């Protein structure tokens, strides 16, 4: 296993390098640049800005300069947020998104797995059908519909929770964004768990356990272990997606997270901010994929390297 992990981490560095390279050149292919405003700048000012940020150098030199900085953990200065480095912006935005995402992930996993198990054990009964309908709704209602609905009900009508904002409000301000983020994931997890549990409970190993008079507790533990594999592989990319922030949720609830930073950066052609956000997102996707593969191997001896 350690050898396998070392291989995976080395391979990930190569993947990250490819992602960084592609992103670096692709964002520069997009028309416009960081200092193209509606009213053109004075050519002299433009020239000194470009010199300051090394945009006057040949592309390959900019690229090497960026890689050298990155290797030392320096994401460079932001073009749009003068006086801030990209590192500072990410250090502010990422923990917000990651915290919300982690909470949503934990909530979605708990609710989804529990609902999936209940539905499978009550297969075709009322509880199962309720969960199937609820999870279908959770999957099909888009975030930009769910979020305003929640704001309307819990914020404007019931006045239980703030409808948005980040500066103040204690724990209450987290609840609606987390619920909005978690809903589709919980629904997907519930459906995956349900289907996998139903399959596992009907499979031969469970028949053996029953034929040996083993208690329900043991039968469930066997079925759940078999059912978790598809859930775990779904959780990998989902964890990365949730923790790197959702533009829609962050915009609707006014949260200064990574999702918004990413989109603002792209619109402003803030090359370094986009690059920084890309590196963070790509690293998380890679990290969670490794975690999923390890978890998979722990669950299922047949795929152990």
Partner 1 sequence: MAPLLAVSGLDVWFQADGRDIAAARGVDMTVERGEIVGLIGESGSGKTQTMMAAIGMLPENGRATGSVRFDGEEILGLSEAALNRLRGAKITMIFQEPMSALDPLFSVGAQIMAPLIVHGRLSRAAARRRALELLDLVGVDRAERRFNSAPHQLSGGQRQRVMIAMAVANNPSLLIADEPTTALDVTLQAQILDLLRDLQRRLGMAIVFITHDFAVLKRFADRLYVMEAGKIVEEGRIADVMERPRSAATQALIEATPPGAKAPPPTDAPILLEARDLSVDFPGSGSWFGRRLFRAVDAVSLDLKRGQTLGIVGESGSGKSTLARALLRLSPHRGIVRFDGRDLGGLDRAALRALRRDMQLVLQDPFGSLSPRLTIGAIVAEGLLIHEPEKGATERRREAARALAEVGLDPGLLDRTPHELSGGQRQRVALARAMILRPRLLVLDEPTSALDRTAQKEVLALLRALQDAHDLSYLFISHDLAVIRAMADEILVMKDGRIVERGPAAQIFSAPREAYTKRLLASAHILAREAGESAARSGAAGG
Tell me which residues touch partner 1 (CB under 8 A).
203-205, 207-215, 218, 222, 225-226, 229-230, 233, 292-293, 296, 299-303
Q: Which is nearer to partner 1, 102 or 229 (CB)?
A: 229
Quote the least distance from Cβ 219 to partner 1, whole Å. 10
CA atoms of 223 and 117, how far apart (whole Å): 10
What torsion, rounded to 10 degrees, do the Cα atoms 168, 170, 171, 174 define? 0
Mapping DSSP onto H, E and C, the string for 45-88 reads: HHHHHHHHCCCCCCHHHHHHHHHHHHHCCCCCECCCCCCCEHHH
CB of 19 to partner 1, least distance (A): 18
Supply the minimum distance, in Å, between the C-beta of residue 285 and partner 1: 12
For partner 1, the closer CB: 61 or 210:
210
Q: Closest Cα partner for 3 from 288, 13, 11?
A: 11
- Residue closer to partner 1 by CB (options 54, 304) is 304
Q: How far is the CB of 212 from partner 1 (least distance, A)?
A: 3
Measured from the CB atom, the residue of 7 and 36 that comes closer to partner 1 is 7
Location of structure tokens 């000194």: 48
Q: Which is nearer to partner 1, 228 or 258 (CB)?
A: 228
Q: CA torsion, points 123, 125, 126, 132, in degrees to nearest 10?
A: 30
* Residue 280: both structure tokens together: 């963070």
Distance CA 291, CA 181 (A): 22
Looking from the CA of 133 toward its CB, the CA atoms found within 13 Å total 7
Distance of CA 112 to the CA centre of its chain: 17
CB of 205 to partner 1, least distance (A): 4
> By C-beta, is 231 or 281 nearer to partner 1?
231
- Would you say 87 or 230 has its CB closer to partner 1? 230
Exposure letters 251-270 (e unless 16+ CB within 10 A, then b) = bbbebbbbbbbbbbbbebbb
Minimum distance from CB of 299 to partner 1 (Å)? 7
CB of 189 to partner 1, least distance (A): 16
Cβ within 8 Å of residue 291, ≥6 positions away:
236
User: Measured from the CB of residue 259, what is the shortest distance to partner 1 in angstroms?
Assistant: 24
What φ, ψ does residue 303 adopt, rounded to 5°? -105, 10
Which residue, 126 or 167, is less far from partner 1 as judged by CB? 126
């Amino acid at each position: 296993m350690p050898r396998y992990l070392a291989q995976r981490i080395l391979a990930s560095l190569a993947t990250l390098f490819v992602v960084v390279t592609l992103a670096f050149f692709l964002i520069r292919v997009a028309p416009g640049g960081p200092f193209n405003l509606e009213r053109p700048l004075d050519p002299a000012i433009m020239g000194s800005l470009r010199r300051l940020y090394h945009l006057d150098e040949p592309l390959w030199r900019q690229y090497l300069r960026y890689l050298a900085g990155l290797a030392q953990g320096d994401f460079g200065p932001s073009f749009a947020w003068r006086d801030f480095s990209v590192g500072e912006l990410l250090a502010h935005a990422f923990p917000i998104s990651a915290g919300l995402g982690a909470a949503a992930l934990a909530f979605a996993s708990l609710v989804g797995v529990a609902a999936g198990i209940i539905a499978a054990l009550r297969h075709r009964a009322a509880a199962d059908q309720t969960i199937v309908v609820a999870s279908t709704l959770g999957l099909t209602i888009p975030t930009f519909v769910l979020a305003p609905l929640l704001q309307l009900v819990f914020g404007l009508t019931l006045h239980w929770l703030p409808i948005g904002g980040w500066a103040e409000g204690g724990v209450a301000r987290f609840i609606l964004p987390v619920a909005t983020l978690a809903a589709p994931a919980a629904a997907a997890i519930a459906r995956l768990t349900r289907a996998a549990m139903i399959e596992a409970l009907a499979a031969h190993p469970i028949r053996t356990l029953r034929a040996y008079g083993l208690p329900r507790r043991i039968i469930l533990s066997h079925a759940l272990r078999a059912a978790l594999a598809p859930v775990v592989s779904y959780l990998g990319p989902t964890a990365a997606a949730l923790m790197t922030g959702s533009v829609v949720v962050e915009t609707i609830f006014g949260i200064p997270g990574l999702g918004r930073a990413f989109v603002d950066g792209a619109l402003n052609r803030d090359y370094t901010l986009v690059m920084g956000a890309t590196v963070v997102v790509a690293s998380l996707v890679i990290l969670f994929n490794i975690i999923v593969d390890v978890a998979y191997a722990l669950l299922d001896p047949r795929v152990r390297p």
